């Protein structure tokens, strides 16, 4: 088995990201999977992208644009 490397992009572990940890994952080309050396997450690129989207659950206002007058409005 050859050593692992990096994939096309340098994906972080989505599971660690959700606990505020930025950890590079490594890529096992024989299994076509990324894996985390900090936790037990493994997944292919599709799964990583899905989990990254899941990580955004907390950003409820991520797509909202505030106007200057909005910063002290709380009744919406």
Write out the residues near other proteins by the rule CB under 8 A: 5-6, 9-12, 17, 20-24, 38, 48, 52, 55-56, 58-68, 71-72, 74
User: Please, what is the minimum distance in Å from the beta carbon of residue 18 to other proteins?
Assistant: 10
Contacts of 39 (CB under 8 A, 6+ apart): 13, 15, 16, 23
Q: Please answer whether residues 22 and 60 qualify as being in contact, where contact means their C-beta atoms are separated by less than 8 angstroms.
A: no
User: Please, what is the minimum distance in Å from the beta carbon of residue 60 to other proteins?
Assistant: 3
SS3 state of residue 13: coil
Nearer to other proteins, 30 or 69 (CB): 69
């Amino acid at each position: 088995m050859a050593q692992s490397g990096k994939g096309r992009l340098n994906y972080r572990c989505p599971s660690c990201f959700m606990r505020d940890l930025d950890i590079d994952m490594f890529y096992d080309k024989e299994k076509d999977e990324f894996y985390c050396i900090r936790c037990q997450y493994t997944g292919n690129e599709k799964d990583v992208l899905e989990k990254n989207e899941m990580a955004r659950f907390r950003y409820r206002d991520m797509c909202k644009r505030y106007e200057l007058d909005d910063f002290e409005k709380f009744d919406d």
